[in-house]
């Protein structure tokens, strides 16, 4: 069952060269039938590996894969409840692409106060741009 949809901002620092950058990920937190929560990450609607998994990222500056990360900010996107069907009362449903974009657009902005970063790799969203 879909528990939460959020935009999560991660700050990355390369252990090799010290380069820093940040990226905002769309994240779906899903609970399976056993009570475990799984996270599904995407960038611009494209599924990507978790940024917290070792080796999932490489430094855009030097190519090193030993990257330190920090979750800097989270903003939740409101879930849409299922129809008035009694069996589904109160359970969230998957948002359509259009609904997801509208909900993400209207979610509160992430705070920019904690952001002091270097350049971003080409094609990687950055808080500076």
DSSP string, the chain: -EEEEEEEEEEEEETTT--EEEEEEEEEEEE-TTS-EEEEEEETTEEE--TTSTTS---TTT----EEEEEEEEEEEPPEEP-S-GGGTT-EEPPPHHHHHHHHHHSPPPP-TT-------TTS--TT-
Range of the domain at 62: 2-106
Question: Does the residue 21 lie in any domain?
Answer: yes
Residue 54: per-residue pLDDT: 86
Residue 117 has pLDDT above 60, yes or no: no
How many C-beta atoms lie closer than 10 Å to residue 126's C-beta?
15
**Structural Rg of the chain based on CA atoms:** 17
Residue at 129 is within a domain: no
Q: Give how many domains the chain has, as a whole number.
A: 1
**127 in any annotated domain:** no
What are the φ/ψ torsions at residue 101 (nearest 5 degrees)? -65, -40
Mean of per-residue pLDDT scores for the chain:
76
96 within some domain: yes
Would you say residue 112 lies in a domain? no
Q: Is the confidence at residue 129, as pLDDT, over 90? A: no
| For range 27-50, the mean pLDDT | 90
pTM of the predicted protein model: 0.61
Q: Is residue 116 part of a domain?
A: no
Region 100-110 average pLDDT: 58
């Amino acid at each position: 069952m879909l528990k939460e949809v959020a935009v999560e901002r991660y700050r990355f620092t390369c252990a090799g060269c010290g380069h820093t950058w940040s990226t905002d990920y769309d994240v779906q937190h899903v609970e399976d039938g056993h009570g475990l929560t799984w996270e599904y990450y995407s960038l611009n609607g494209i599924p990507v590996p978790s940024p917290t998994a070792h080796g999932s990222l490489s430094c855009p500056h030097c190519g090193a894969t030993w990257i330190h990360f920090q979750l800097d900010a989270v903003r939740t996107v409101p879930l849409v409840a299922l129809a008035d069907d009694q069996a589904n009362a109160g359970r969230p449903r998957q948002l359509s692409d259009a609904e997801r974009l509208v909900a993400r657009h209207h979610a509160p902005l992430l705070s920019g106060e904690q952001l002091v970063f270097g350049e971003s790799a080409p094609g990687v969203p950055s808080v500076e741009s």
